Chains A and B, each alone.
Chain A
Amino acid sequence: MSLVTAIRSGDAAQLPGRRDEAWRYSDLKGVLRAMPGASPEAAAPASAAPLAEVAADNEIVVVNGRSVVERFVAAPGLARTLRLRVAAVTEGTAHSGLLAIELPEGSDLTIIETFEGVDAGYVSDFALAISMGEGARLERIVLLDEPADAISVSAAQVELSAGAKFRQTVIASGAKLQRHETHLHHPGGGADARLDGLYLLAGKRQSDLTSVVTHAGPDGTTAQLAKGLVQGQARAVFQGKIVVEEGADGTDARMGHHALLLNDGAEVDAKPELEIYADDVSCAHGNTVGSIDEDALFYMRSRGIPEAEARALLMEAFVGEVVDRIEHEPARDAVRAWVAERLRGLS
């Protein structure tokens, strides 16, 4: 049961839905009654990609699920930046794509991964397989900037080796149904993972950030921080699961998810889970869903800041914590600018 099997077979019965625990809050079956036809081949969009201002050494463009390469191997040594542009240039059709990225021992890569749709009403599935050699470093910045009526599922399988450093920030603006999954296999051995998320949702958009981190060996670190703002009738889903397997002693795992609902009618479904089968571990999770602090708002207004500006400042400060954790400076600046633009639409 998955979107990709449904797309390939054209059989909507293959879609997962609310009866499947992992898809409880993202009911693909409910939004997609029948499978649409296959997307045609298309040229890359003529417009600039999201976050285009970030310079990249390599670029892979995936249009309607198709790309020239199926595998990218990072060059060892120098820090490199790869732009991975995933675009849907079609209307009312479905497609799927996949790509493998390998980071040999000691390599250092930043991926600027963006999702966009030129036309509307498409169904997209994209799978990424990432494997990291010993001591490799990867920072992955994923921006899901899709049309409101898109149905889009993207998933990454990430295999770390000892001493690897994995950094990820997923920024989502939602769609009709938009889900990003990260499945991280953590061998421990000093490997270190950061999985952050940020969602800014308005209208009737939905966004689902799902992650499963499995600590299979001792002495691994995971830090996760997801934050979001939800307005209108939008709905956010956060499912974060950290599994510490037997023997994975010395694991240090922290998960935080914090959301602000900007009005009645907005919704957040959060499911943080820690499953711990080892003894000597340090794990914690925190989850809060609240609204903008009215007292803080009045305080700011009493100093002369108009309400809309005060709200925007508070919202920017709230989500800024996630943006600040992006290590790649040009990417951090570009994401900050994108977020500021999006916030103007929310306040």
Chain B
Amino acid sequence: MLSIKDLHVSIGEKEIIKGLSLDVPAGEVHAIMGPNGAGKSTLSYTLAGRSGYAVTEGSATLNGEDLLGLDPSERAAKGVFLSFQYPLEIPGVPTLTFIRAALNAQRKTRGEPECTAPQFLKLAREAAAKLKMDFDMLKRPLNVGFSGGEKKRMEILQMAILQPSFLILDETDSGLDIDALKIVSEGVNAMRAPDRAMLVITHYQRLLDYIKPDRVHVLAGGRIVASGGPELALELEAKGYDQYAKAAA
């Protein structure tokens, strides 16, 4: 599925990711944990293709295909989905219009037929019902005036409709109370599938109580400094990141 080799990324003159390698096979959920400033968000934005993140060395491929040379929209069509830490508000664009535009743009890029309006409405209604969301909310402009929890649920709804193959969850737990966290986690867990993989980026172990990872990696100083099973997350929670500060330096 996702394979990152010796990735170096700079923002301006400053190198943030300094030789990161990572493999996430299909069917697995990997967590990336790390202190603030470790490069967690840089990694997610680089994979999604945000401008201003210059890859100076290394590669990232999805199912053997290069990602880094593609436009963000092409990456999405290949199956990459970045769930934002702070989803953007899109004034004037109803949620349904937005998701349908995204779905059909992806289909067009892949050379698939467009989803008609009735087909799409059926899809959206089913997805909203599963997430226990009020369908009328989808008629409102995307995320405008929504609470933090509602915005995250909108991200899950988009995942459920767009059916990406590789999910990057960037600090998905931030700004969520425990009830919202449960609902969002259930939505994410429902996406787990043998042909889909996930990268869960988080500062705290809390999220991993709800989204159980197969592997945990510690990112510090722009590199993976430790990898292990789920027990690594618990160890980090107990001992903190200090022990890796030296390794990163």
Q: Does A232 contact B (CB under 8 A)?
A: no
- Give complex CA distance A309, B103 in Å: 13
In the complex, which residue of chain B has the Cβ closest to the Cβ of A301?
B72
The residues of A that contact B91 with a CB separation of less than 8 Å are 317-318
Question: Across the interface, which residues of B come within 8 angstroms of A69, CB to CB?
Answer: none
Q: Per-position contact with B for A259-286: 1 when CB-CB < 8 Å, else 0?
A: 0000000000000000000000000000
Counting chain B CB atoms within 10 Å of each CB, which of A304, A305, A317, A320 scores highest?
A: A304
B88 to chain A minimum Cβ distance, whole angstroms, is 4
Bound complex: CA A279 to CA B106 (Å): 57
Instruction: Flag if A302 contacts B90 (CB, 8 Å).
Output: no
Give the segment of B13-21, B46-54, B57-65, B193-201 that binds chain A. Answer: B46-54
- In the complex, how many residues of chain A place their beta carbon closer than 8 angstroms to a beta carbon of chain B? 22
Interface string of B63-97 (1 = CB under 8 A from A): 00000000111011100111010011111110001
Q: Are A309 and B87 in contact (CB under 8 A)?
A: no
Interface residues in B204-220 by Cβ distance below 8 A to A read: none
> In the bound complex, how far is the Cα of B76 from the Cα of A299, in angstroms?
11
Q: Which among B72, B97, B102 is the interface contact of A298 at CB below 8 angstroms?
A: B72
Counting chain A CB atoms within 10 Å of each CB, which of B51, B91, B99, B158 scores highest? B91
Interface of A is mostly: helix
- Are the C-beta atoms of A298 and B50 separated by less than 8 Å? yes
With both chains docked as a complex, state the minimum distance between the C-beta of B237 and any C-beta of chain A, in angstroms.
Answer: 30
Q: What is the minimal beta-carbon distance from B39 to any residue of chain A, in angstroms?
A: 19
Q: Are A304 and B73 interface neighbours, CB within 8 A?
A: yes
**Known: A309-B101, A314-B93. Contact between A304 and B109, CB under 8 A?**
yes
User: CB within 8 Å of A: which residues of B?
Assistant: 48-51, 71-73, 75-77, 80-82, 84, 87-93, 97-99, 101-103, 105-106, 109, 141, 158, 162
- The residues of A with any CB-CB pair to B shorter than 8 Å are 293, 295-296, 298-307, 309-310, 313-314, 316-318, 320-321
| Inter-chain pairs besides A307-B71, A317-B93, A318-B92, 15 sampled, C-beta below 8 Å | A299-B88, A299-B90, A300-B98, A303-B73, A303-B99, A303-B102, A303-B158, A304-B106, A304-B109, A305-B101, A305-B102, A306-B109, A307-B73, A314-B93, A318-B91
